[in-house]
Amino acid sequence: MEYIINHIRLCGTMDSAPVFSHENHGRQFCSFYLGVERLSGNVDRLRVLVDQELLNATDCAWGERVLITGQVRSYNHVDESGRHLVISVYAETMELTDEEPDDAVTLTGTLCRDPIYRRTPLGREICDGMLAVNRSYRRADYLPCIFWGRTARQIAALSAGARITLTGRLQSREYVKTLPNGETETRTAYEISAVSAELTRD
């Protein structure tokens, strides 16, 4: 039996006011952005989905500090510019806090394509992977992951279909996308930056 392991713990500051997102099976969901500061001082701006009832019970607002636990989720959004993988944090618990920033992810999933190993312009080893993480009702979340150094070499030796468990953080980064008409647009990408990873046998 394959156990579902998808857990994230975030502590940060609400960087936007909650807005209505969608309704599912009679439940209303809102979204907002959470700013989580890194040790470097950079801030990851992460999209959070939360049940309206949980949001009301927490009674939080823009600028307040909150602690969230939940899962990392993905879905494909299609618009006139094409298909985009949208990464969000689904909040299962949320409470006001004064704790220090935190961003800790644990995932178990399957590499759904062969990892790509490369070096950065500064010579750092890096490996890109896409992890399919099971969800209930035979669904899965597809999460981009990056691995560094020795871990990058270990993951690069694996093939699609390998099942791994990793720990790391969910991070955001901006990049410039060139559109078909030649214009450029600044976008935000989300990925799991892995601290450790190992083969898993269920």
**Looking at the predicted structure, is the pLDDT value of residue 75 above 80?**
yes
Euclidean distance between CA atoms 19 and 40, whole angstroms = 30
Quick one: CA torsion of 142, 26, 29, 65, rounded to 10 degrees?
-110
Euclidean distance between CA atoms 176 and 155, whole angstroms = 28
Residue with tokens 């008409």: 181
For residue 36, CA distances in Å to 12, 42, 72 come to 5, 8, 15
By percentage, how much of the chain surpasses pLDDT 70? Answer: 96
**Residue type (1 letter), 184:** T
> Please, are residues 96 and 79 in contact by the beta-carbon 8 Å criterion?
no
> Please, are residues 171 and 44 in contact by the beta-carbon 8 Å criterion?
yes
**Looking at the predicted structure, is the pLDDT value of residue 141 above 90?**
yes
Same fold, 6-104 and 106-199: yes
Closest of 43, 106, 96 to residue 68, by C-alpha:
96
Whether the pTM exceeds 0.85: the reply is: yes
Of residues 133 and 201, the one with the higher pLDDT is: 133
Superfamily of domain 6-104: Nucleic acid-binding proteins (2.40.50.140)
Q: What is the mean predicted confidence (pLDDT) over 85-101? A: 96
Give the start-to-end residue ranges of the domains of the chain.
6-104, 106-199
Question: Kind and range of the H or E element at 154?
Answer: helix 149-156
Tell me what pLDDT residue 180 has: 80
Tell me what pLDDT residue 201 has: 75
Q: Quote the mean pLDDT of the chain.
A: 93
pLDDT digits (tens, 9 = 90+) for 152-179: 999 999 999 999 999 999 999 988 888 7
> Please, are residues 164 and 158 in contact by the beta-carbon 8 Å criterion?
yes
Based on C-alpha coordinates, what's the Rg of the chain? 18
Q: What angle do CA 158, 142, 182 make, to 5 degrees?
A: 100
Euclidean distance between CA atoms 129 and 191, whole angstroms = 10
By percentage, how much of the chain surpasses pLDDT 90? Answer: 78
Residues belonging to the chain: 202
> With 0-12 CB in 10 A as exposed, 13-18 as middle and 19+ as buried, what is 197?
buried
Class of domain 106-199: mainly beta
> Please, are residues 37 and 45 in contact by the beta-carbon 8 Å criterion?
no
> Please, are residues 32 and 90 in contact by the beta-carbon 8 Å criterion?
no
